Structure 1
Amino acid sequence: MKTSIKKTGVLLFLFYSLLSTAQPKDGVILGTIKGKIVDKNLNQPIPYATVVLTDVSEKIISGGISTENGDFLIADIPKGSYTLKIQFMGYTSYSRTIDISKTNKDIDIGIVTLDEEAESLDDVTIVAERTTIEQKIDRKVINVGKDLTTTGGTAAEIMNNIPSVNVDQDGNIALRGNQNVRILIDGKPTNISAAQLLKQIPSTSIKKVELITNPSAKYNPEGMSGIINIVLHKNSNMGFNGNLNLGVNFDKNARFNNSIDLNYRTGKVNIYGNYGTNITKNLNGGFVFREDDNSRQNFRFLDNNKSHLIKIGIDYYINERNTFSVYTNQNLFDGVTRGFTDVLFLNNDQDDLIQNLISDSDNLGGTYNLDYKHNFIKEGHNIELEVDFNDFESDSDDDFSFTGGNGTATAYNDLIGNNRTNTTINLDYVNPLSEKAKLELGYELRLRRTDNDYASTLFPNSNFTYDRDIHSIYATYGKNLEKWSYQIGTRVENYQVDATFIEKRSSQDDIIRKFEDDIFTIYPSAYISYTPGEKNSYQLSYSRRVDRPGLNQVNPIREWSVPRITSRGNQNLEPQFTNSIEANYTRKLQNGSITSGVFYRIINNEINQTLITDPIVPDGQILTFDNFDNNSAYGIEISGNYKATKWWSLNASFDLYGQTQKGIVNNISREVDAVIYNFRINNSLKATKNLTFQVFGFYRGPQDGVQFESKPFYFVNTGARYNFLDGKGTFSINYNDLFNTMRFRFESDVPFRQNGRFQGETQTVYLGLSYRFGSGKNKKLSRKRRDNNEKSGGGIL
């Protein structure tokens, strides 16, 4: 293939040379343009770079590619004014205006130097000291620096440091105070729940986090509060290089997280791999006190988990026009949970009951991705086909035994098996109609197949299948008008669901419940931005979105159970729809920047957790999901970074969310006006060139809902990091939750008056070591970010 490209370049060069020596027609002026393209840093020729000549209407007049020596020649050019553009993957583009006339027809522009794109230089080999935030037209990008990767062992620790994002005690993630959010890894879906995923990804494997709070019609419309895309490091430097990260957290138990990134690039082939592992023991517990019968449930569990995250991929640069890549993510996770639930009846201790649990689970997930992209001659004009297959298998073996309770409780065993597959096919077309306008068209197919088996020695065996097909087409059009820019789009989707729940009975007919749905929906979006100067920018956007129930939200099979609370899904749960409008303002300062925003959402048929009385278990409760009435929400966000002195810099953010919730809980009509607010501040103090200290503080205010009132909490982290070996190595130490205040507390009066508290091992000491090796120039293949992740929707309280 390389030989054919060389021949093509030589033939083009000779062809244009021959044309330049031919005699023109009488009275017709024909000109030539020639030059040499060179790497600015290496001072070496760049072969096969694209050279395009356009007229004032941006119509392509002629073009070619540079030879092995970087030379190019465009001949037989009529008289007129033109724009010459030179492009090569991984480099900034070059352009200049050229006039062909009778007195200026043979033009030699000499040596053209191309510099690497700034984005290409931002890779695993260089991790910035400080985290930075970029406000783009459709998303906020948090480039993760060493000040965040040293805060702890997993992605969960990083997420609580990011504006607008919260992670609760069970690992459930919320964006702008709402857990209806899409979580992506490298823009791709995953069958693994967000809570489990955040515990498995090492913090040092994260390159950046993208918050897409009002996605355009191009993106999957699922997720009321938007999309969180976690981008992992991918090293694509020339030659062989990599990065090694080691870390350990200490509290009552030690937790180890390690990762290594390797890359080898030569010629047209880039091979890369990433391996991360977490070995954790985590003690967590709490209590729930019920006032109606003066009882208290105490929880104490020890999780012993091991996870392995593997990514291997190959990029093949066929030529400047065509690229092909393939990669796979493999996620292996197994864990054992041991613990007990102690139910104490303070008025009658003869009814006291202890439930012991031993849960053994094995999980295996894999993603397989193919991508082919063809670039047309015009810059930014391309078509891309991507196929993504994701499968997940999970098996758990749970043993329950009991002590006390007057001998009324019976020991039993649960076996639960889950098998899920997702297939996604995307075809995307991008056409820059001009330098100021762009059209995007696309088609997406999403197929989901789910099969869940439940076998129990005490309860009826059951099976739940859930199949879903979604066909989507979209179109967006955007244009820049000097200081103004806008983008409009529409996405049309057909959504089909076929679900069946079978409860098997030995002495009577099986109970069969079926659910089918077929919905055709339109999702419009619009953006407009105004940039009067370099220091100020304004943005206004609108989108319509949907939250389709996650698997655990509709799965009627028991997810978990303690003596007085059982968690399971609601098969009759319906989608919720959201109309969202938001405005953002960014101000660049001399030593920093400030970003502020407001949003307003109208939510139809809202999905939320609810506690209802158990019709079978006396005094029992079922934690499930239900649709509430139409609600509204609003929010204000302010974040900024500022370098106060040469040695002191800080990032801070404040976000406030208000929501009116209406619903019927346990046959009681309720309406609540809830206000949630959070404050974060991160101080970085540079003692020497290589030694930096850090102090991070977080406060979350109280949160009211139709059923629960969460109490406020705060925590403080402090630490230090030291760079050595000319910045190739970094040693870090961090003391998390300095005052041991990170705990979840709540009160509720429906269906019973109760209060509770939950806490894990949050007061930890983290030690980390990072070392990067190898060198080389970076020529990274840009990959599209997908957003068709599936949520699970489980969790406790």
Structure 2
Amino acid sequence: MKFKILLILVICNFSLLFAQGSGNPGSVSGKVIDNTSKQPLPYVNVSIFENDKIITGGITQENGSFNIKNLALKPYKIEIQFIGYKKIIKNITLSEADKNINLNSIFLEEDAVQLNTVEIVKERSTIEQKIDRKIVNVGKDLIASGNTASEIMNNIPTVSIDPQTKELSLRGNSNVRVLIDGKPSNIDAAQLLQQIPSSSIKQVELITNPSAKYNPEGMSGIINIILHKNANEGFNGSINSGVTFGITPKVNSALNLNYKVGKVNFYTNYGFNHGINANNGFIDSFRPTLENEQDFEFRNKNTSHLVKFGIDYYINDKNTLSFYTNQNIVDGSGRGLTVVDYLNAGQPDSRQLFDSRNDNFTQTYDMVYKHDFDKKGETIDFQTNFSNTKGPEYTDFNLGQINPTSTTLTSNDINRVTNSLQVNIDYVNPLSETVKLEIGAESRIQRITNNFDENINEASVGYNRDGNSNFEFKRQIHSFYTNIGKQWNKWSAQVGVRIENYDIDADFENVITSSNPSENINDKSNVKDHIFTAYPSLFFNYKASEKNSFNFNYSRRVDRPGIGQISPIREWTTPLVESRGNPALEPQFTNSFEVNYTRTTKIGSITTGAFYRQISDEISRVIYKNPDNPNQDILSYDNFDDNHAFGIEASANLKFYSWWSANLSADSYFKTVRGTVQNANTGDQERAEVDVTVFNARMNHNFTATKKLRFNLFAMYRGRDLSLQFDRSPMYRVDLGSTYTILKGKGSITARFNDIFETMNFAFDGSIPYRQTGAFYWESQTFYIGFNYMFGGGKNKELQRKQRDANETQGSGGMM
């Protein structure tokens, strides 16, 4: 039912756009009201029929009113329809004597039959292009493509997940900020996306050039993941459960519940994720005198629980108080084996075993108070958000030389605690029908403590070394922003600025006690930084016609080094490479320009765009020799000179026939990669750069066989990528799935075969600082079977709340 109404609405909107250019003199208006509460109903569908054929239409505004213009002078049938209400049909006749008909108040009555069902997840994902963002409405086709948010992100235009590191990138850049329901999280993005069940996701917003209202962090923009919640009367919800069969089975389940009674709305989500992931790979290195073959095997088991509970209290028509908490518990363990086989008989071969255990517990508490003034659209929001993350990790390493035999035992004990507090206030005031003012202030306070204990023991030579490193990182960011938007004729514009005061204070202490006195260390250091700066933003939108619109925007962004990039404490290690941060790392700043064009056709919409980024003090990777181990390199970070990047992209949301629709996208990025590499001949570190062109493409087709049976075909291609050290080979995948509706439309069964041809693997060929080739493999070819069931009933009478939710995550963006 909801799908049919949505389809009618789309047809009505296109017809309305066409009709508005016709210059016809007639119009019909009115106001739709709930017959029980006597409150106006926004977003009600109004359709205009001529000889039983829809010719135009529209939806009601926030106050329930509608006004459909440009109608020819003739008889019409008007159909007023909304989910949960009985349909109303009225007949009118426009004439020279009565060109403008006002239907006055139209009262809709509840429909008891329609109250028995609730729609939570659409069958097909759709893409909407807004003035300042692209919105992906997640349907069952995307949910079926993977258990977690990480697995479905590769199916979203311009977004990529590195198959090995799980690092997220937008438009080919990993400097992207991830929000959940518009709020930040302490959890690393790569880890967070693996913990959110795909069935819990309602929308994904791609904000490639955020306005001054948003924090300026992330060079490539913001990815905002919106989870399911609703405000339906009574009790309702959904349950999703699925199993993915690969080398080992993996279980993913989610439960969404909602209960609305009187002035109080309760909602909760629970997600469970459990499975073992197996990976393997090899690297063949042709390093002079140290030629070797490395083989890797990894096996990681993770169990995660994600719980969200929230309450909305509607104090009265003008005041709303909301509270929610997220509780995220992760229990993980891993085992791995690295074997290094040197081709030089004089160099002893080695093998390293590791066994790790890690727990992660994050708790977030959020409270929002909203007040609506008497003036329509004038609001003030106050929000406070606190989160705490504890992430202990314990790892044992067993590094042994095969011939001659020797063993070094190493244990690492890491304890990290992160506390974050965010307080913000936002005020919106429509100064007129075409001008809107937004102002706000925000304070963020963060404190991270990281303790690292290490013990190295080599019994054969009586060697023992104990180390303790403590790193405390404190950051405060206080900001104020203002936006003003105006609309005139075919133009709309928004200009804004965000002013920020940024302070960090970091203390590092490193104490080493060794059986070799020359290795004893007692070192302390401190890093401080203070930056006061402004981040302007500018948006222009020009609607040339009903089918053509152009958008231009600019913003200044910043990438502040994260704890992993500045902490001098070791992050991970292998016999040949160790990763650690750089406390002296500075923020990098980016000026980002973007232009987009959207064309509306009879079968859907097509959006094309181009962007350019000018980057100062770019943060990039560096490699240098470990002073304590001549056979090992240190992988870290440093600031480089100015850089630039630009790209083009296109996406389309098309419906070719009633039984066939598709989402298509392609993008190409041009960037300069800079870094530090070692000269294989001299051993010196040299800065190098390379120009890179990357091409990606995706397509997602949906086929309707019957009312109950649907098929989905997905394919993606990631083109060749080039870095300073290696050339990554292209990769692609093809998935095939189907969904069958059961239980009178309340349930569905989904099956999906991922990576049919088993072509998704990471392969590379490098020549700097010496020749290396290799590949890594993971469980890309899998079979998924899942079940979804929706229960309960209720009519959504609190649409104002839904609009409030949309404003929280989609807020800012002009007068459109």
* TM-score relative to the length of structure 1: 0.84
1:609 positional shift: 2.5
User: Of 605, 620, 626, which aligns to 1:593?
Assistant: 605
Matched, 1:490 2:482: no
2:295 aligned partner: 298
1:752 positional shift: 3.5
> For the residues of structure 1 that align with 2:658 and 2:521, how far apart are their CA atoms?
76
2:629 aligned partner: 617
1:403 positional shift: 3.4
2:281 aligned partner: 286
Per-residue CA deviation, residues 170-218 of structure 1 (Å, 9 max, x unaligned), is 2111000000000111111111111111111111111000000000111
Gap change, CA 1:96 and 1:681, over 3 Å in 2: closer
Aligned length: 701
Q: Retained in 1: the 8 A contact 2:621–2:675? A: no
1:236 positional shift: 1.9
Amino acid paired to 1:379: K
Gap change, CA 1:359 and 1:613, over 3 Å in 2: same
> For the residues of structure 2 that align with 1:703 and 1:563, how far apart are their CA atoms?
27
**Residue 147 of structure 1 aligns to a residue in which SS?**
helix
2:52 aligned partner: none
1:460 positional shift: 1.8
Q: Retained in 2: the 8 A contact 1:188–1:785? A: no
Per-residue CA deviation, residues 39-62 of structure 1 (Å, 9 max, x unaligned), is 2xxx42325999xxxxxxxxxxxx
Amino acid paired to 1:686: T
Matched, 1:455 2:453: yes
> For the residues of structure 2 that align with 1:641 and 1:417, how far apart are their CA atoms?
47
User: Of 185, 190, 194, which aligns to 1:195?
Assistant: 190
Per-residue CA deviation, residues 523-567 of structure 1 (Å, 9 max, x unaligned), is 000000011232211100000000000111111111111111111
RMSD of the TM alignment (CA)?
A: 2.5
Amino acid paired to 1:161: N
1:346 positional shift: 2.3
User: Of 548, 554, 561, which aligns to 2:566?
Assistant: 554
1:75 aligned partner: none
**Residue 546 of structure 2 aligns to a residue in which SS?**
coil
Q: 1:380-399 alignment to 2 at 5 Å? A: 380-399=377-396
Q: 1:600-749 alignment to 2 at 5 Å? A: 600-666=612-678, 667-749=685-767
2:431 aligned partner: 433
1:327 positional shift: 0.3
User: Of 312, 315, 327, which aligns to 2:312?
Assistant: 315
1:147 aligned partner: 141
Q: Retained in 2: the 8 A contact 1:630–1:662? A: no
Gap change, CA 1:362 and 1:93, over 3 Å in 2: farther
Q: 1:329-368 alignment to 2 at 5 Å? A: 329-348=326-345, 351-368=348-365
Q: Retained in 2: the 8 A contact 1:331–1:365? A: yes
Q: Retained in 2: the 8 A contact 1:306–1:335? A: yes
1:46 aligned partner: 38
> For the residues of structure 2 that align with 1:442 and 1:95, how far apart are their CA atoms?
34
Gap change, CA 1:376 and 1:95, over 3 Å in 2: farther
> For the residues of structure 2 that align with 1:357 and 1:721, how far apart are their CA atoms?
42
1:570 positional shift: 1.3
**Residue 552 of structure 1 aligns to a residue in which SS?**
helix
Matched, 1:370 2:382: no
> For the residues of structure 1 that align with 2:727 and 2:109, how far apart are their CA atoms?
55
Amino acid paired to 1:376: F
User: Of 417, 433, 437, which aligns to 1:419?
Assistant: 417
Per-residue CA deviation, residues 248-275 of structure 1 (Å, 9 max, x unaligned), is 1001101000000000001110000000
1:36 positional shift: 9.6
> For the residues of structure 2 that align with 1:96 and 1:532, how far apart are their CA atoms?
21
1:572 positional shift: 1.3
> For the residues of structure 1 that align with 2:690 and 2:736, how far apart are their CA atoms?
37
* Unmatched runs of 5 consecutive residues or more in structure 2: 1-29, 43-59, 70-101, 457-465, 679-684, 811-816
**Residue 460 of structure 1 aligns to a residue in which SS?**
strand
Q: Retained in 2: the 8 A contact 1:189–1:786? A: no
Matched, 1:479 2:486: yes
> For the residues of structure 2 that align with 1:675 and 1:36, how far apart are their CA atoms?
55
> For the residues of structure 2 that align with 1:756 and 1:109, how far apart are their CA atoms?
72
Gap change, CA 1:368 and 1:349, over 3 Å in 2: farther
Q: Retained in 2: the 8 A contact 1:654–1:680? A: yes
1:223 positional shift: 0.2
1:663 positional shift: 4.3
Q: 1:71-470 alignment to 2 at 5 Å? A: 92=64, 111-113=105-107, 125-169=119-163, 170-292=165-287, 293-348=290-345, 351-405=348-402, 406-458=404-456, 460-470=467-477
Per-residue CA deviation, residues 453-490 of structure 1 (Å, 9 max, x unaligned), is 00011252100111000010000000111210000000
1:363 positional shift: 0.5
Q: Retained in 2: the 8 A contact 1:37–1:45? A: no
Amino acid paired to 1:465: E
**Residue 158 of structure 1 aligns to a residue in which SS?**
helix
> For the residues of structure 2 that align with 1:268 and 1:257, how far apart are their CA atoms?
34
**Residue 433 of structure 2 aligns to a residue in which SS?**
coil
> For the residues of structure 2 that align with 1:613 and 1:239, how far apart are their CA atoms?
64
Gap change, CA 1:574 and 1:452, over 3 Å in 2: same
**Residue 411 of structure 1 aligns to a residue in which SS?**
strand
* TM-score relative to the length of structure 2: 0.83
**Residue 123 of structure 2 aligns to a residue in which SS?**
coil
2:74 aligned partner: none
> For the residues of structure 1 that align with 2:242 and 2:665, how far apart are their CA atoms?
28
1:111 positional shift: 2.8
> For the residues of structure 2 that align with 1:135 and 1:115, how far apart are their CA atoms?
34
Percent identity (aligned): 49
